[in-house]
């Protein structure tokens, strides 16, 4: 899943930078940057929603297992035969909880920042096109969006890899197949 999400965010970056290249005249195509901005930003929303829900979902899965282990109820949900000593599992799961929570906290704020600044840039582009806003305002917000997108991209790339390894290790600990969640 992490590889799919990394592919999505690479395509997102490509679409946004293609839009910027058209806007600045670095690239000539038969359509304008406005015509490309619409699908590029819709794809950005799509990709960021997937990334955000991946981190939320993995964190939630690990939290649920941690609650089962600490409450010692419903142990049959994660074990065929519950072991007598749960302390090694509890120790490892606490580390997984810390890792997945950190990943979620390090990426979701940048996801939200990208989406908010992207929406503002998109709306201000329309306002500029109708003459309600100066070009400098639209361009300034686009620069902010690009900065947030690049920082968010780096963080998402890094934490997608970390969370992918954490999830595989977590699944191996409880003998959960890789293709299930």
Q: Residue 33: pLDDT band by 50, 70, 90 thresholds?
A: confident
Domain total in the chain: 1
Can you give the pTM of this predicted structure? 0.86
Domain that holds residue 50: 2-173
The pLDDT, as a whole number, for residue 44 is 95
The pLDDT, as a whole number, for residue 92 is 94
Q: Per residue in 80-125, pLDDT tens?
A: 888 888 888 899 999 999 999 999 999 999 999 999 999 999 999 9
Q: Per residue in 150-181, pLDDT tens?
A: 999 999 999 999 999 999 999 888 887 777 76
3-state secondary structure the chain: CHHHHHHHHHHHHHHHHHHHHHHHCCCCCCCCHHHHHHHHHHHHHHHHHHHHHHHHHHHHHHHHHHHHHHHCCCHHHCCCCCCCCCHHHHHHHHHHHHHHHHHHHHHHHHHHHHHHHHHHHHHHHHHHHCCCCCHHHHHHHHHHHHHHHHHHHHHHHHHHHHHHHHHHHHHHHCCCCCCCC
Residue 180 lies in a domain: no
Query: What does the pLDDT average to over 133-140?
Result: 92
Residue 179 lies in a domain: no
């Amino acid at each position: 899943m992490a590889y799919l999400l990394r592919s999505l965010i690479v395509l997102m970056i490509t679409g946004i930078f293609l839009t910027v290249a058209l806007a600045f005249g670095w690239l000539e195509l038969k359509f304008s940057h406005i015509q490309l901005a619409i699908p590029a930003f819709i794809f950005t929303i799509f990709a960021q929603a997937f990334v955000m829900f991946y981190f939320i979902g993995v964190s939630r899965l690990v939290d649920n297992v941690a609650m089962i282990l600490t409450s010692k109820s419903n142990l049959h949900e994660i074990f065929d035969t519950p072991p007598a000593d749960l302390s090694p599992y509890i120790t490892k799961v606490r580390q997984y909880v810390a890792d997945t929570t950190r990943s979620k906290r390090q990426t979701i704020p940048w996801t939200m920042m990208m989406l908010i600044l992207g929406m503002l840039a998109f709306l201000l582009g329309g306002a500029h096109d109708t003459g309600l806003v100066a070009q400098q305002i639209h361009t300034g917000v686009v620069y902010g969006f690009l900065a947030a997108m690049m920082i968010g991209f780096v963080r998402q790339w890094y934490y997608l890899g970390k969370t992918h390894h954490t999830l595989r290790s977590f699944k191996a600990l409880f003998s959960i197949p890789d293709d299930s969640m």
